[in-house]
A and B are shown apart, each in its own frame.
Chain A
Amino acid sequence: EAQVTQNPRYLITVTGKKLTVTCSQNMNHEYMSWYRQDPGLGLRQIYYSMNVEVTDKGDVPEGYKVSRKEKRNFPLILESPSPNQTSLYFCASSLSGRRGLGYGYTFGSGTRLTVV
């Protein structure tokens, strides 16, 4: 089944303890992206990648790192999580097309992160 898989689905951690949220897609998509969703703010893009080793900042990149060493994987790293990073995180992927995003992002099921 074609899908974007995120792990874990739920995570509670303490301030300052490094964590990684994994994201994998099996659709051979060039584009991948991370979003966070907060009530009243919609979805805000953290980082995106247009292909292996090509990443760029979204609107809210502070406090996050990403890497794209393989086409299928795009992990999100929080080096020193803080309570304001408590949120619902979505990974997404897309085929490229004219001006990119030719087919729209396909989203994973989400990771609910709580930082205490």
Chain B
Amino acid sequence: AQSVTQPDIHITVSEGASLELRCNYSYGATPYLFWYVQSPGQGLQLLLKYFSGDTLVQGIKGFEAEFKRSQSSFNLRKPSVHWSDAAEYFCAVGAWGKLIFGQGTELSVKP
């Protein structure tokens, strides 16, 4: 069955610290992989996407993600978190019109 798992429901990091949000997936073939961010009361914004090629992809707002086929993972990273990064982050995988989302990781940032 196709699924996406984000193991961490809630993460708190200090401003300026590094961040890694985990995402594992189960899919029949190599899917397209995405990370989205949702600020409170807002819609979803695409941070980055991976289709093929270089397994380290760069996105907006200083985020990057690394695809590891052997681990079926697509973890999101940021070297230095800003207070404005506090939001909910969703990993998603899919192909054609079908896109499956994880349950989300809520990020809090301590001053």
A interface residues, Cβ below 8 angstroms from B = 31, 33, 35, 40-45, 48-50, 56, 58-59, 90, 92, 98-110
Contacts of B44 in A (CB 8 A): 43, 90, 92, 107
Contacts of A48 in B (CB 8 A): 97-99
Tell me the nearest residue of chain A to B47, going by C-beta. A104
Instruction: Tell whether, in the assembled complex, residue B49 and residue A104 are in contact, meaning their CB atoms are under 8 Å apart.
Output: yes
Contacts of A33 in B (CB 8 A): 97, 99
Contacts of A44 in B (CB 8 A): 101
A-B contact count (CB 8 A): 64
B interface residues, Cβ below 8 angstroms from A = 32, 34, 36, 42-46, 49, 51, 90, 92, 94-104
Instruction: Tell whether, in the assembled complex, residue B97 and residue A101 are in contact, meaning their CB atoms are under 8 Å apart.
Output: yes
Instruction: Tell whether, in the assembled complex, residue A45 and residue B96 are in contact, meaning their CB atoms are under 8 Å apart.
Output: no
Q: How far does the Cβ of B40 sit from chain A's closest Cβ, in whole Å?
A: 12
Pairs A–B under 8 Å by Cβ, sample size 29? A33-B99, A43-B90, A45-B101, A48-B97, A48-B99, A49-B97, A50-B96, A56-B98, A58-B98, A59-B100, A90-B43, A99-B95, A99-B96, A100-B95, A101-B94, A101-B97, A101-B99, A102-B32, A102-B51, A103-B49, A104-B32, A104-B34, A104-B46, A106-B46, A107-B36, A107-B43, A107-B44, A107-B45, A108-B43
Instruction: Tell whether, in the assembled complex, residue B32 and residue A101 are in contact, meaning their CB atoms are under 8 Å apart.
Output: yes
A42 to B104, CA, bound (A): 6
Additional A-B contact list (13), CB under 8 Å, known A50-B96, A104-B34, A107-B36: A42-B90, A42-B104, A45-B101, A48-B99, A56-B97, A58-B98, A92-B44, A100-B97, A101-B94, A101-B99, A104-B32, A104-B49, A105-B46
Instruction: Tell whether, in the assembled complex, residue A109 and residue B42 are in contact, meaning their CB atoms are under 8 Å apart.
Output: yes
Contacts of B97 in A (CB 8 A): 31, 33, 48-50, 56, 100-101
Instruction: Tell whether, in the assembled complex, residue A45 and residue B51 are in contact, meaning their CB atoms are under 8 Å apart.
Output: no
Q: How far does the Cβ of B38 sit from chain A's closest Cβ, in whole Å?
A: 9
Q: How far does the Cβ of A109 sit from chain B's closest Cβ, in whole Å?
A: 5
A100 to B34, CA, bound (A): 13
Tell me the nearest residue of chain B to A51, going by C-beta. B97
